[in-house]
């Protein structure tokens, strides 16, 4: 019988940015003894049949690229369809916890452009009974610039074509390590 805690990382990634962040989150959880299941949802709803039962997980990470300030619709639709299996009425999230993460180009306003996506992802997993425990936004190249080394000097991040960088992914690792060491996390899950 396995005693390791189980973490579901479900995400949508069109250009590979969010996938890089999801994999860094998984690596960090694994170093703390967690078992991870990564599920990538694409624009054609593939992988829908392989999505595990959300109730089988102790922690959830839900991530998406930012598409016109909101998360990828197929990802939200899949999570929303799971919430309809629960009873109606007031939902009190917890004690299980969750992390919302997003990658964004932030051409005009930078990190602010990821806020609505993060909030919608939190609402989605709170409907599953997970309490929001963190938000993580990481710069990433815009999909129509994918594979393009063109700089974007007039953008908020003039080097977005290179993001997420090794430094960005190191920041993800530090954030998750910090999250796993917080008192509230320790109270719910024990020593990480």
DSSP code for 156: S
Q: Which string of b and e fits 120-149 if b means at least 16 CB within 10 Å?
A: bbbebbbbbbbbbbbbbbbbbbbeebeeee
Q: How far apart are CA 158 and CA 152, in angstroms?
A: 5
Tokens (6 digits) for 121: 């992802």
**73-132 tens-digit pLDDT:** 888 888 887 765 555 666 767 789 999 999 988 777 778 889 999 999 999 999 888 999
Residue 86: Cβ within 10 Å count: 13
Assess contact for 8 and 40: CB atoms under 8 A: no
Q: Is the pTM of this model over 0.85?
A: yes
Percent of the chain with pLDDT over 90: 49
With bands split at pLDDT 50, 70 and 90, how would you rate the model's confidence at 9? very high
Q: Which residue segments constitute the domains of the chain, with CATH numbers given?
A: 6-189 (3.40.50.360)
pLDDT given at position 146: 44
Which one, of 43, 44, 25, lies nearest residue 34 by Cα? 25
Q: Kind of pairing, strands 131-139 and 59-65?
A: unpaired
Assess contact for 77 and 30: CB atoms under 8 A: no
Among 21-30, 88-97, 138-147, 152-161, which range has the highest average pLDDT?
21-30
Rounded to the nearest 10°, the torsion over CA 167, 136, 138, 9 is 90
Instruction: Point out the least confidently predicted range of 21-35, 39-53, 61-75, 158-172.
Output: 39-53
């Amino acid at each position: 019988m396995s005693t390791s805690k189980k973490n579901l990382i479900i995400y949508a990634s069109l250009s590979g940015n969010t996938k890089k962040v999801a994999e860094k989150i998984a690596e960090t959880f694994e170093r703390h003894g967690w078992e991870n299941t990564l599920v990538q949802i694409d624009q054609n709803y593939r992988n829908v049949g392989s999505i595990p039962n959300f109730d089988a997980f102790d922690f959830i990470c839900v991530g998406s690229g930012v598409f016109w300030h909101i998360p990828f619709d197929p990802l939200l639709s899949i999570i929303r369809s799971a919430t309809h299996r629960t009873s109606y009425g007031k939902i009190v999230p917890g004690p299980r916890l969750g992390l919302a993460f997003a990658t964004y180009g932030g051409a005009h306003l930078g990190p602010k452009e990821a806020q609505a996506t993060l909030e919608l992802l939190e609402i989605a997993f709170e409907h599953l009974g997970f309490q929001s425990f963190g938000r993580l936004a990481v710069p990433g190249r815009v999909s129509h610039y994918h594979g393009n080394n063109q700089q974007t000097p007039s953008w908020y991040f003039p080097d977005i074509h290179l993001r997420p960088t090794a430094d960005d992914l190191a920041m993800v690792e530090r954030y998750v390590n910090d999250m796993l060491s917080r008192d509230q996390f320790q109270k719910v899950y024990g020593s990480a």
